[in-house]
Structure formats: structure tokens, C-alpha cells
Structure 1
Amino acid sequence: MGLNDNSHQTKKNRRFTQSLFHALEGLRWTFQDETNFKRHLVIAAIVILVGFLFQVSKLDWLWLIVVIFLVLIAELWNTAVEYIVDLLVQKHYDPLAKKIKDVSAAIVLVAALLAVVVGLIIFAPHLIKLF
């Protein structure tokens, strides 16, 4: 994207490095502003650690990685939707804006529930052996 006199980008990215920079900036903003994103990262780290401890199979790793990234993607999507809705309603309550935000949050909830189900399927046999 080109830069105007105020150093704010207003045009399309022309180089991959510009796109990468903006994507990393988006991750930084999300990590900085969204507590739930941090929680998901901590849970992901715990799941990865437990996966190593239980020496799960390659197929199990595939499923774990897929659901971890699915939850993170859902949280990023939810954050983007919240920013857009907040921009549009400018701190005024709107029932439709609430519905949009609630549905967006539900996306994260469904992704997290899927992750829990996959985690239980993978880790329950290992946990049962421990007890």
C-alpha cells in the first residue's frame, strides 16, 4: 500500500512484506487488547505440552493443531467483527449490533467446544491409564 502525506496507508499493499507487516500488527493488536486471545494461547500451550507428555500420534497432533488454529482464527474473526460493529455504532446501543456481536462470539464458543471434544477424544484414554 502507498503512504499519503500523513503516513497513513490508504491504498492496497503492493509488496508481500507490507501485507505481512499489517498481519503481524493485527496479531499484536489482538494479543494486546483481547484477554480471551491470550487465554486461548495459554490453553493451546498447555495442550501442546500435554500432547508431548502423552506422546500422541501424528494423526492426533494433526487434529490438535487444526482445532487450536480454528479457535484462534475464530477469536481473530470475533475481534474483527467487534471492531467493525463498534466503528459503525459509535458507542450507541443497537439491538442488531448486539446480535451481530453475540453471533460472532458464538462462533468462538462452537470452535472451542469442538476443540474440547477433540481434546477429550485424544487425551481421555491417556488420562484413564494414569488413574
Structure 2
Amino acid sequence: MGLNAKKPQTSKNHSFWQSLRHAAQGLSFTFQHEGNFKRHLAIATIVIVLSAILQVAKTEWLWLVSVIFIVLIAELWNTVVEYLVDLLVAKQYDTMAKHIKDVSAAIVLVASLLAVIVGLIIFVPYVLQILA
């Protein structure tokens, strides 16, 4: 193989376990290379610990877990879009590529705002009760 030779594309996954392994590799890659994903996981950990300490209700847990996963999914999709755009424009500046990446980042921002709103709705009454 020459210096520029590429490995052939892998074939379709043949089992659930193979698919799961590839998904785990994707999560690992994202965790290793994307600082925002690490920050979202750190905040999610704080929210989970705080929720356990405050003993939030089951429905509140459902909301919190849902918005945590929405933010993480949005961040994963944003990462995919960024890599695809960079691949397509060969890391050269392109105005449309910038707009695409900005809109993708906006998806994460909107998901994060939803998470903050849900967190405030759930946690403010607990904090006020503690302070009273």
C-alpha cells in the first residue's frame, strides 16, 4: 500500500455485538476528542448527584434524564456535522459550511437551554424549601 492508499470501507455489521462495539468506539472517540461532550457529561453527573441528594420525585427524574440525553444526543449530532462538513470542504473556509456548523451548534444551545429550564423548574422549589 502506498502512502496515500486508504483502507477499504468496512462491511455492514454482522451482529448486534459488532454494532454495539462500533457505537462504543464512537462514544469513546467523542469523549476523547470533544471537550464540550466532556463538559456536558460533567454537568450531567452533578445534576444526577444533586437529584439523588435532594431525592427528587420519579417524574422529575424522568424529565432530568430525558433532557440530559437530549443534550448529549445533540452534542453527538453536532460532532458528526462538524466532521462531515470539514471532510466535504477539506478544511477550507466556506461560508455555507460555516452556516451549517453554526446551525448545528445552535441545536446544542437550544437543547441546553431546555435542560436549564427543566432544571430550574425542578430544583428551585427544593432550594427555596431548604432556604426557608
TM > 0.5: yes
> Mind listing any 5+ residue stretches in structure 2 that lack a counterpart?
1-5
CA distance in 2, matches of 1:26, 1:8: 19
TM superposition outliers: structure 1 runs of 4+ over 2 Å: 6-10
Q: Secondary structure at the match of 1:11?
A: coil
Does the alignment pair 1:116 with 2:107? no
Does the alignment pair 1:30 with 2:7? no
Structure 1 residue 18: Cα displacement: 1.2
In the other structure, the counterpart of 1:92 is 92
If the length of structure 1 is used for normalisation, what is the TM-score?
A: 0.92
In the other structure, the counterpart of 1:3 is none
Structure 1 residue 40: Cα displacement: 0.3
Q: Secondary structure at the match of 2:14?
A: coil
The Cα RMSD (Å) is 1.3
Amino acid at match of 2:21: F
Q: Secondary structure at the match of 2:92?
A: coil
Give a deviation string over 1:5-61, Cα, whole Å, max 9, x none.
x87552211111111111001000100000000000000000001101110000000
| Number of aligned residue pairs | 126
Identity %: 65
> Mind listing any 5+ residue stretches in structure 1 that lack a counterpart?
1-5
Q: Which has the higher contact order (CA 8 A, sep 6+)?
A: 2
Mapping of residues 1-131 of structure 1, within 5 Å: 9-131=9-131
CA distance in 2, matches of 1:8, 1:36: 31
If the length of structure 2 is used for normalisation, what is the TM-score?
A: 0.92
CA distance in 2, matches of 1:51, 1:9: 44
